[in-house]
Chains A and B, each alone.
Chain A
Amino acid sequence: MNRNSDKRKSLLVFLGRRWALIFLVIESLVFSFTTEAFFSLKGIQIVLFYGTTIFLLGTAETFVIITGGIDLSVGFVMGFASIVSAKIVVMLTNMGVPPAISILLGMLITWMIGLVPGYVNGSLVARLNVPPFIATFSMLGITHGTSELLIRGVPAKNLPYLANAIGNGYFIYLLPGKAISFFNKPVIQRGELLLEIIPNMVVIAFVFILIFAFLLKRSKFGQHIYAIGGSTDAALRAGINVKAHLIKVYMISSFFATLSGTVYMLQYVTGKADAGAPFLLDAIVAVVIGGASLYGGIGTIGGTILGCLILSVLETGLRMMGVPTFDKYIAVGVILILAVLIDQFFPELIHREE
């Protein structure tokens, strides 16, 4: 009998640890049956394409939340970056720089500028002891105001066509049985089936996410982030330069927000101040669903990506079913509370002893 209950418990543990994955599978199955388009090459790629923003903002938020902080500014830093990059690209193109170079330069310069809000956030939090909530909220106001000033209420436009081609292009184009080409769309006859595989932006996003996931999991830098989140005092005593470290973490977060701003610029060929505003909630929810604790010290990029996928599948699936997108918010709120409740009720299940 004892063995039986042990078995039962181990099954529960198994399920409890993977509840997010199970939820994702069930959710995908439901949408596959209720809509025709969901379970297809196109459908899955739409999930990834719309998910890019949440993937990037979620990664940004993961780093900060592991240190026990929160970054409310990611949404508007993203909008700020989309505007700055659009402005720079348009300016360079007007000066006669070839579009490819101006887009590349625009993105690189924006990534540099994007480190500034993070540096300020980090300095406020680490050096002046301002609570992260307040520091990043102030930064939200400042980036929001600055980006509105830059565009004066009109979304940035007149971007070169190449931006659209990159942002909405695919990594691999496949003409079954005939040709395969990378990045460039082959010329096709009417009625021919062209397979488009993996959107460019998803590739870019995941290259960066993988690099930083590796950094978080395998490097000393990453281990120190967990240490700070676990206990700042202990980290200090262990000789970690907590202040410098925190500043770097907020800069990483701001970098990912900027990255998603430039991705937005390429995807939607515009720059908008409130481009990222609705995604702040989604990003935090994804991190929490992924098993991170707002008290710090716990969380993984893999978990966050899982959380992002749950939200992205939910959004895409509901849209394909024709359910008004408003209802998504109810679902997101309920999932968030459920995630925390599961975490509260079965702490032994979720956090394995390592």
Chain B
Amino acid sequence: MDDDGAHLAGEWGLIGNGVGTVNLKWSSRLLIPVAKNWAVIFLFLLIAVFSFTGRGFFSLTNFQNIIHLSTIFLLLSAAETYVIITGGIDLSVGFVMGLSSVLSAKIMQLLHAAALPQPMSILIGGMVGIAISFIPGLISGTLIARLNVPPFIATLGMWGVTNGITLHLCQGFPISFLPSKLVELGNGYLLYVLPGRAVSFLHKPYGLQDTQIRELIRIFPNSLVFSLVVLFILWHVLKHSRFGQHTYAIGGSMDASVRAGINVKKHLIAIYTLSSFLAGLAGVFNVFQTGIGNFTPFSSMYELFAIAGVVIGGASLMGGKGSIVGSCIGAVMIRLLENGLSISGVEPFYRFIAVGLILIMAVVIDQMFPELF
């Protein structure tokens, strides 16, 4: 234990000059891991509190629900993570998401109306929606890297442009009359269990009575599989690939990375394109989930909540710091808070206040113990 303490003190330069013999007080030995992992601890605290205050909060169904509803936020937060680590910011993700969602839905709607087979129209619509999402990122990346436009402004410009195009496409109404298979896929589960009678994969057991539907246990939503796969790839790339290490290097010091021979401009363009692509992925997934193509309303502020998730997850807006796992915890925390508050019967308006307070707390903890992080 003493060894551990000394090791910690040395690593974070807490006491003295990191000489091995320094002994940490037990209080700071306790404080360090708590402050370092406050987000996780806070998440568990929230779960514990809501389990008491809300009936039905602590259940498989509800947890799967939270995860299911977190999908787009997880993707957007992951997108912001990459951008924020480089020291930039991407304000356009929410509206790029809307653009992809509306465009892919529009194409699905047209193809569906033209009596194309459902899988075909879904596939084509989804592909186009994802393909279009590269463009805004490519443009804002080029503006930022090659023309030295501040990230805030470049992506704010894209925010306006993508929002305008989206609303132009859908004329301010959600796009409906889409293939019915869409929702089955997006809201489906990997495993359905009817206790004692049947187990089936990917689709509900056939010939169910109405009463039996209530007993049906649904396990592992498709959306979880989807987000796990995407997030695992992103985590791996950020943590273990050269691309990821260069991302951290650029955030740490742009000059140093230029001198280290990293092609910073190309890298930044790639980062903003990736962020935009992830937003597009979230948009297309949103179509699967809701069955309609939805534009992004102003007051939903997806981009700001995604950034909030990333900051709660321990990233710094100055760049150089952040992780996919942290951002995921942050994103899930916001969703969990929302879900728990509404199950506990608290009015939904409090969630805005709560998110604001948590965000301030995250940064203040970060500011108070800079040596810890």
A residues engaging B (CB < 8 A)?
Answer: 70, 72, 124, 128-131, 133-135, 137-142, 144-146, 148-149, 152, 274, 277-278, 281, 284-285, 288, 294-295, 324, 326-334, 336-337, 340-341, 344
Contact = CB atoms under 8 A, between A and B. Distances in A.
Contacts of B354: 141, 145
Contacts, number: 142
A140 B304 contact: yes
13 contacts: A131-B317, A134-B311, A139-B356, A141-B352, A141-B355, A144-B349, A148-B352, A288-B153, A326-B164, A329-B161, A330-B160, A333-B164, A337-B149
Given A72-B304, A137-B307, A330 B165 contact: yes
For chain B, what secondary structure do more than half of its interface residues adopt (helix, strand, loop), or is it mixed? helix
Of A137, A152, A295, chain B has the most CB atoms within 10 Å of the CB of A137
B54 interface: no
Given A128-B364, A324-B168, A341-B149, A140 B356 contact: yes
Contacts of A141: 352-356, 359
A137 B311 CA distance: 12
Contacts of B348: 148
Contact of B156 (A134, A281, A331): A281
Interface of B: 89, 143, 147-150, 152-154, 156-165, 167-168, 171-172, 298-299, 301, 304, 307-308, 311, 317-318, 347-357, 359-360, 363-364, 367
A333 B157 contact: yes
Contact of B157 (A124, A139, A327, A336): A336
Given A137-B359, A138-B356, A145-B351, 11 more contacts: A130-B364, A141-B353, A142-B352, A142-B356, A145-B349, A281-B160, A284-B156, A294-B150, A294-B153, A329-B167, A333-B162
Given A130-B367, A140-B304, A281-B159, A344 B317 contact: no
Main secondary structure of the interface of A (DSSP, over half): helix
Between B156, B167, B348, the greatest number of chain A beta carbons within 10 A of the residue's beta carbon is seen for: B156
A337 B163 contact: no
A337 B311 CA distance: 27
A326 B150 contact: no
A336 B168 contact: no
B266 to A, nearest CB: 20
Given A129-B367, A149-B349, A274-B298, A333 B161 contact: yes
Contacts of B152: 70, 294
